[in-house]
């Protein structure tokens, strides 16, 4: 989860393009596959950030939203949407699963 938080912060705040390569050898817990599924299907993992960290992120992206769309109100929902949209646009997931070595 710490790695995902770091990826989202880098992609969403710094607007840095990132590729996350995930192989079947890295599946230590099947729950992580659910997180990957959420990223691929809706673009985010629910409750990824604790409240204090999320507040820090929203404070950090406020000037960026103000610059990009000065008429858009800077509510928590709009700031979070801006952050997640930037993260979705900059974060790419590559799944490398072998049908021979992966067991369900």
pLDDT digit string, tens, across residues 9-59: 999 999 889 999 988 888 888 888 898 899 999 989 999 999 999 999 999
CATH superfamily of 2-96: P-loop containing nucleotide triphosphate hydrolases (3.40.50.300)
The 8-class DSSP code of residue 72 comes to S
Q: What is the pLDDT at residue 24?
A: 83
Find how far residue 29's CA is from the centre of its chain: 19
Contact 86, 14 (CB under 8 A): no
Domain map (residue ranges) of the chain:
2-96
Reported as a single tens digit per residue, the pLDDT across 69-102 is 999 999 999 999 999 999 999 999 998 887 775 5
Res. 1: pLDDT tops 90:
no
pLDDT of residue 25: 84
Token duo for residue 24: 């079947």
**pLDDT value at position 66?**
95
Q: What is the C-alpha separation between 88 and 13, in angstroms, rounded?
A: 11
């Amino acid at each position: 989860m710490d790695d995902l938080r770091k990826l989202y912060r880098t992609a969403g705040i710094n607007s840095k393009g990132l590729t996350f390569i995930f192989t079947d050898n890295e599946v230590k817990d099947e729950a992580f596959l659910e997180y990957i599924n959420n990223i691929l299907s809706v673009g985010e993992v629910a409750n990824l950030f604790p409240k204090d960290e999320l507040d820090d992120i929203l404070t950090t992206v406020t000037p960026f939203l103000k610059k990009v769309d000065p008429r858009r109100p800077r509510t928590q929902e709009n700031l979070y949407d801006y952050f997640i949209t930037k993260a979705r646009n900059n974060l790419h997931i590559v799944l490398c699963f072998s049908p021979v070595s992966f067991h369900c």
